[in-house]
Structure 1
Amino acid sequence: MLNPTVLSSCLLLACAVSLSSSAALVDNGMPILWAQTVGQVTDLPEQNGTLTPDPWSFLSRMSLYRLMIAATDPFMGSMGTNATDSPLWGLPLQLGWMLTSGRLADPTGATTCGLQTGDTMCISTQSWWGCVSYFASVLSFLSATQQGFMGQGVQVQMQVPAGVKDYCTTYADCAARYPDAMSKWDAFFQGLKASSESPLTDKEKKDSILGLYWAAQMASTYASAACSARQSHYSSTEVSFANNWLNTAEYVSAAHFQSNVQNTVMFLVLLPSRVLRENDSAPNIADLSQDENRTLTIFSWLKNINSLFGGTLVRLWRKAMCSTETREKGREMLEQLLLNPSFPTHTFFSIITGMSRSC
């Protein structure tokens, strides 16, 4: 929910645009096409006693998220009273944005995967966005399975298109190739189970779970550096946005953002609704909304400032996010930065510097 400060300062027109845009990301309060995903582990394809999901199908990848959310919900009581308060909801919503914005389609033009003229539910193995999403979806699902959330003794091997060899497909394979990411997902799922017996308050549990979640999510993001060669299929403008998007995740994760449905949609509707072309120049991209143009500008500003100071801005931000109180302030500041057009960006650095000194 928007806090009162942000709500009062957010331009009425900008808020209206964002709220109306959310229709492209949710359907009856759920991620798009949620009703077409599978709701039981036994509904996944199986061969010789091993589950064999196809992560190159949008509906199948979304199904992995649905199964994970359902399996972990009993441990998410500290997140809030709504059924959509789990931070895992951010993952399928983000995948939905990638689909609707055309970012899961084949960027090489060699196939019709993901295009309106082909299989619209196809996720291209050549899509950089689809590759980055693979590390968030497949690694987390394999870890959840390994930790017993899908049932005891369940084995999983992901399907992979013929000729494609650079994606891990089993828990052992992914753990060997990306040990840090898998160990952090394991820690997240183990932490969920431990939280049910923890003497901490719900507020403390919530912050702890979100910390474990974002540590895992960012470890998957760092592991997805393996996808970088696929950026060559895109315009320099799209590549710049992609890298700025990765940089912004540093701020979101350190502040322990609660990526439930309501909060995630609020920010996803600000992202560009199509793949960027070479001649696109924010904030003057005519067929993108004012919100989308402004977000591209803010993302670029955050990345450029951080680069200018040799990574100091991200380091200061991480240092400043040292307590539940400062993380709460950090989340409010990010809301102001992205949702309030009148927020003075030149004060951002000085505010963070002051906050970091108190840690």
Structure 2
Amino acid sequence: MLRPSFLSLLLACAVSLSSSAVFLENGMPILWTQTAGQLTDLPIQNGILTPDPWHFLHRMSLYRLMIAATDPFMGSMGTNATDSPLWGLPLQFGWMLTSGRLADPTGATTCGLQTGDTMCVSTQSWWSCVTYFVSVLPFLSAAKQGFMGAGVQVQMQIPEGVQDYCTTYASCAASYPDAMSKWDAFFQGLRAAADSPLPENEKKDSLLGLFWAAQMASTYASAACDSRQSHYSSTEVSFAKSWVNSAEYVSAAHFQSNLQKSSMFISPLPSRILRVDDSAPNIADLSSEENHTLYVFSWMNSVNNLLGGTLVHMWKSAMCSVNTREKGSEMLEQLLLDPTFATHTFLSIITGMTSSC
């Protein structure tokens, strides 16, 4: 039985009043110690594992179990226990909880609200719908590929009356074949890497390529969630689209989304749902870091739209080698984390990198 401690619950259920959303607890994802450390901590019915992805601790447990199962195959990522690129996913999910983005945006229920079930993940939330594709789908794939043990079968729980979510490997593979096949390729690649003769940096780059290909396939599949955007302000929807668009850049750079680097990127994300009158970089109750991030996200999306999608194309073209991808990751860090790094500098560097490919 997964039960959050009282202190952790207070941390998790409250929208942060500080300059950024709380998503870390003692250096780990929020409520991490309350999640399942082994499969048997999750519900099992008739020999089938039945997690409830609409309970925050259950969905967060999927990440913890995947990280533990794949860590023995992550040697090329580095020597730290938190170097796996999978760490970015639970950190992102924790930020969504404490910034209020997993709660019911329709007002029809108290799911996810402080006045209701704080651990409830709403089926109506666009954010929780999108992350379903990067939590449930990879977990089902990992189980299918034997990472959870031989012959483990999984059936996700789903609230009564909700029909537009797949719940088993077979149903997800039928509905989203590209996403599931790419997660399968990532987990198969992890095993194959153990015997690969490639140098460690090339092995790492190859695995990150497989990981991001799977993430992006899940992101494209999550277009199924788009109708849920109608529950939010136009400003929040614009940010959501920019947030999705930013994945094009980090994926092309094969960004190593380990715990340390992901924390730097998630820390300046907006600590509350945006209102219609919010206008970055001048949102009074958000920090300068949050305002800067929102401004950069908006700028990158606007420029890409003005250029007919060619900014993303230019960026992807520039990420043509292990070397340029490493430089690209560093440049993204500068753009998002250093307010003095001018956006026009970003454009000129991309142009130069593209011509060198």
Q: Is 2:164 the partner of 1:166?
A: yes
- In structure 2, the partner of 1:68 is 66
Between the aligned partners of 1:177 and 1:134, the Cα distance in structure 2 is: 14
- In structure 1, the partner of 2:5 is none
- In structure 2, the partner of 1:296 is 294
- In structure 2, the partner of 1:358 is 356
Matches within 5 A, 1:180-191: 180-191=178-189
Between the aligned partners of 1:288 and 1:259, the Cα distance in structure 2 is: 25
1:144–1:189 contact (8 Å) kept in structure 2: yes
Q: Is 2:147 the partner of 1:144?
A: no
Between the aligned partners of 1:35 and 1:137, the Cα distance in structure 2 is: 18
Between the aligned partners of 1:199 and 1:45, the Cα distance in structure 2 is: 41
1:22–1:265 contact (8 Å) kept in structure 2: no
User: How many percent identity over aligned positions?
Assistant: 78
2:21–2:99 contact (8 Å) kept in structure 1: no
1:21–1:269 contact (8 Å) kept in structure 2: no
Picking from 299, 304, 307, the partner of 1:306 is: 304
2:281–2:294 contact (8 Å) kept in structure 1: yes
Q: Which runs of 5+ in 1 are unaligned?
A: 1-19
2:37–2:65 contact (8 Å) kept in structure 1: yes
How far did residue 22 of structure 1 move? 7.5
Q: Is 2:116 the partner of 1:121?
A: no
Moved more, 265-274 or 333-342: 333-342
Picking from 216, 219, 222, the partner of 2:217 is: 219
2:281–2:292 contact (8 Å) kept in structure 1: yes
2:51–2:156 contact (8 Å) kept in structure 1: yes
Question: One-letter code of the match for 2:99?
Answer: S
Question: One-letter code of the match for 1:65?
Answer: Y
Give the 3 Å change call, closer, same or farther, for CA 310–23 of structure 1 in structure 2. Answer: closer
Q: Is 2:249 the partner of 1:251?
A: yes
Between the aligned partners of 2:22 and 2:176, the Cα distance in structure 1 is: 34
1:168–1:174 contact (8 Å) kept in structure 2: yes
- In structure 2, the partner of 1:133 is 131
Between the aligned partners of 1:202 and 1:64, the Cα distance in structure 2 is: 28
How far did residue 350 of structure 1 move? 2.3
- In structure 1, the partner of 2:81 is 83
1:140–1:185 contact (8 Å) kept in structure 2: yes
Match of 2:308, SS? coil
Matches within 5 A, 1:29-44: 29-44=27-42
Give the 3 Å change call, closer, same or farther, for CA 146–21 of structure 1 in structure 2. Answer: farther
Match of 2:133, SS? helix
Between the aligned partners of 2:212 and 2:281, the Cα distance in structure 1 is: 30
Between the aligned partners of 2:59 and 2:289, the Cα distance in structure 1 is: 29
Question: One-letter code of the match for 2:152?
Answer: V
Between the aligned partners of 1:339 and 1:154, the Cα distance in structure 2 is: 42
2:35–2:64 contact (8 Å) kept in structure 1: yes
Between the aligned partners of 1:27 and 1:358, the Cα distance in structure 2 is: 43
Between the aligned partners of 1:42 and 1:165, the Cα distance in structure 2 is: 27
- In structure 2, the partner of 1:239 is 237
How far did residue 166 of structure 1 move? 0.1
- In structure 1, the partner of 2:6 is none
1:33–1:59 contact (8 Å) kept in structure 2: yes
Match of 2:134, SS? helix
Residues 280-337 of structure 1, C-alpha deviations (whole Å, 9 max, x = no match)? 1111111100000011000000000000010000001011101110001101111111
1:34–1:62 contact (8 Å) kept in structure 2: yes
Between the aligned partners of 2:183 and 2:172, the Cα distance in structure 1 is: 12
- In structure 2, the partner of 1:206 is 204
- In structure 2, the partner of 1:10 is none
Picking from 53, 56, 60, the partner of 1:55 is: 53
1:69–1:88 contact (8 Å) kept in structure 2: yes
Give the 3 Å change call, closer, same or farther, for CA 21–78 of structure 1 in structure 2. Answer: farther
How far did residue 228 of structure 1 move? 0.1
Residues 9-54 of structure 1, C-alpha deviations (whole Å, 9 max, x = no match)? xxxxxxxxxxx96782211221010000011112211111111100
2:130–2:225 contact (8 Å) kept in structure 1: yes
2:20–2:290 contact (8 Å) kept in structure 1: no
Give the 3 Å change call, closer, same or farther, for CA 265–152 of structure 1 in structure 2. Answer: same
Query: What TM-score does the superposition give when structure 2 sets the normalisation length?
Result: 0.94
Q: Which runs of 5+ in 2 are unaligned?
A: 1-17
How far did residue 347 of structure 1 move? 2.5
Between the aligned partners of 2:104 and 2:189, the Cα distance in structure 1 is: 37
Question: One-letter code of the match for 1:317?
Answer: W
- In structure 2, the partner of 1:322 is 320
Between the aligned partners of 1:332 and 1:266, the Cα distance in structure 2 is: 12
Residues 258-299 of structure 1, C-alpha deviations (whole Å, 9 max, x = no match)? 111110011101100000011111111111000000110000
Question: One-letter code of the match for 2:72?
Answer: P
Picking from 266, 270, 273, the partner of 1:272 is: 270
